[in-house]
């Protein structure tokens, strides 16, 4: 499911790879602070007196931090209120949706397809997008599945 940004004036940030997710989050009003948090917590987003704060776990690898910022930004844009905790494998529907949007933010489908056409392997793609190998593996599978579904839909209409 493609995600549509509410503010098109930020297209330049969206179309730059790797996406500067920290600047994107700041532009959407998230104030980001590094904190020492339990290992199982990627970040905590908190809204207080009209401001949104993201406390990012400073002990995590940069790739995980980028995904956490994108995940929490997805919550921020989708929900705009409340406190959300990020965990590696969220089970609630809104956590899965935030993960999907985060993947689209960090690894846009068009760029994933371009990288595949150029013959990039998963390790090279992970470096290109500054994400984990697991994240790009999952994203490639999603993009390929979307392609299969589009092709099947086109064939049904013939």
What pTM did the predictor assign? 0.79
Instruction: Identify whether residues 126 and 154 lie together within a single domain.
Output: yes
**Domain of 14: which CATH number?**
1.10.10
Tens-place pLDDT, residues 24-83: 899 888 999 988 988 888 888 888 888 888 998 888 888 999 999 999 898 888 765 454
Domain count within the chain: 2
List alpha helices for the chain, DSSP H. 11-14, 21-27, 62-79, 93-106, 109-117, 122-129, 133-156
Q: Give backbone dihedrals phi and psi of 137, rounded to 5 degrees, phi first.
A: -60, -45
User: Is residue 124 situated within a structural domain?
Assistant: yes
Of 89, 106, 123, the position where a domain reaches its end is 106
Same domain, yes or no: 92 and 135:
no
Choose the final residue of a domain: 62, 80, 106: 106
18 and 93, same domain (yes or no): yes
> What confidence category does residue 1 fall into, taking pLDDT thresholds of 50, 70 and 90?
very low
Residue 81 phi, psi (nearest 5)? -145, 165
Q: Do the domain assignments include residue 1?
A: no
> Residue 91's domain spans which residues?
8-106
**Structure tokens of 147?**
């392609």
154, two tokens = 């086109």
Same-domain status, 101 and 128: no
Alpha carbon distance, N-terminus to C-terminus of the chain: 24
Other beta carbons within 10 angstroms of residue 30's beta carbon come to 21
Average pLDDT over residues 105-110: 92
Residues 42 and 54 in one domain: yes
Q: What distances in angstroms separate CA 26 from CA 35, 36, 81, 99, one per listed residue? A: 17, 20, 16, 19
CA 106, CA 68: separation in Å to the nearest integer?
Answer: 11
Structure-block tokens of residue 13: 């940030």
Do 29 and 76 share a domain, yes or no?
yes
Domain membership flag for residue 2: no
Are both 75 and 125 inside the same structural domain?
no
Q: Has residue 67 been placed in a domain?
A: yes
**116-157 tens-digit pLDDT:** 999 999 999 999 999 999 999 999 999 999 999 999 988 988
Is 3 part of a structural domain of the chain?
no
- 85/157 same-domain check: no
């Amino acid at each position: 499911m493609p995600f549509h940004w509410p503010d098109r004036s930020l297209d330049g940030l969206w179309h730059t790879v790797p996406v500067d997710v920290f600047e994107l989050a700041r532009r959407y009003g998230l104030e980001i602070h590094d904190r020492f948090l339990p290992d199982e917590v990627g970040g905590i987003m908190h809204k207080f007196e009209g401001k949104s704060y993201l406390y990012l776990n400073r002990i995590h690898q940069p790739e995980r931090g980028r995904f956490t910022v994108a995940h929490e930004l997805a919550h921020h844009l989708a929900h705009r209120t409340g406190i959300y905790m990020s965990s590696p494998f969220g089970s609630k529907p809104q956590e899965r949706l935030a993960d999907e949007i985060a993947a689209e933010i960090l690894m846009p489908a068009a760029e994933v397809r371009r990288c595949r056409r150029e013959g990039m392997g998963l390790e090279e793609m992970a470096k290109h997008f500054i994400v984990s190998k697991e994240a790009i593996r999952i994203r490639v599978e999603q993009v390929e599945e979307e392609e299969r579904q589009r092709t099947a839909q086109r064939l049904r209409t013939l």
